[in-house]
Amino acid sequence: MAHVTDFKEAGFDSVLEELEWRGLISQSTDRKQLAEALNGEPVTYYCGFDPTAASLHIGNLVQLINMRHLQAAGHHPIALVGGATGLIGDPRQSGERTLNPKDVVAGWAERLKRQIGGILETYGDNPVRFVSNYDWTAQMSVIDFLRDVGKNFRLGTMLAKDTVARRLNSEEGISFTEFSYQVLQGNDFLHLFDEYGCTLEIGGSDQWGNLTSGMDLIRKVRGVTVNVFTSPIITDATGKKFGKSEGNAVWLDAPMLSP
């Protein structure tokens, strides 16, 4: 595993300053508040990876680079491999996702965990913690989900999310299944906040709406302010996103894409 220096060794005053210098931050909550959080006692942070394919891709690698820098700075990482959200699929720019069988998704989840473990530290004083949102989501009844979680979301806010708005204005529209994704992801942040004291979520800039859904949910039900930040989307020469749903993914798995 390649050595990653912490921000002090690299000559920066904070890990946030280093990430900004590297161009790894696109959007964030209040910059001063985020800086204070990352400059204080170690925080617990998380990033989610949905097993909607057999491998991670270059867009996921950007998140893992951010996670590795935060880990090297002493903050505590959680890698959420979405056993539940992987069965649903995050709404993409166009068209509904194909829903994969549960056993296939479970197998992909294990492969993703091995890939993540090859980049983040899995041993020592500050190892990455692996969790699956299937463990807490599968236990919820529909009634509990609607009463305890869904009640805190406002339809107008959900409809205004960029990807949702784009899909609503397209010919194919969007199913209730994919529309509910932001509620599921918001509930993930709340669960990790309650269970592990997680106060920071990171992701790609196309995930901003999902990240802020969890932030807003925690503020409403726990009265606590947490933070999120995103990284820029990796695009090809035409400006098209590199990713699974776009059919142009640069896979991290050697058998799927030779180095």
- Looking at residue 36, its pLDDT comes to 94
- Looking at residue 3, its pLDDT comes to 57
User: CA 16, CA 38: separation in Å to the nearest integer?
Assistant: 7
What mean pLDDT is predicted for residues 135-163? 91
Does 251 reside within a domain? no
Does 8 reside within a domain? no
Does 248 reside within a domain? no
Does 1 reside within a domain? no
User: CA 107, CA 187: separation in Å to the nearest integer?
Assistant: 24
- Looking at residue 246, its pLDDT comes to 62
User: CA 41, CA 76: separation in Å to the nearest integer?
Assistant: 11
Contact status, residue 118 vs residue 210, Cβ threshold 8 Å: no
Read off the CATH number of the domain in which 200 is found.
3.40.50.620
Does 238 reside within a domain? no
Q: How many domains does the chain have?
A: 1
**Residue numbers of the domain that contains 210:** 15-231
Angle between helices 208-222 and 181-196 (to 10 degrees): 50
Does 256 reside within a domain? no
Task: At 113, list the tokens.
Answer: 């965990």
pTM score, whole prediction: 0.91
Q: What is the pLDDT of residues 98-113, one digit of tens each?
A: 888 999 999 999 999 9
User: CA 65, CA 73: separation in Å to the nearest integer?
Assistant: 12
pLDDT(184) > 90: yes
Tell which residue, 66, 62, 63, 67, has the closest CA to residue 77: 67
- Looking at residue 236, its pLDDT comes to 83
Does 4 reside within a domain? no
Rounded to 5 degrees, φ, ψ at 236 are -85, -170
Does 245 reside within a domain? no
Q: What is the pLDDT of residues 12-48, one digit of tens each?
A: 889 999 999 999 999 999 999 999 999 999 999 999 9
Contacts of 79 (CB under 8 A, 6+ apart): 46, 47, 49, 67, 113, 116, 120, 128, 129, 130, 131
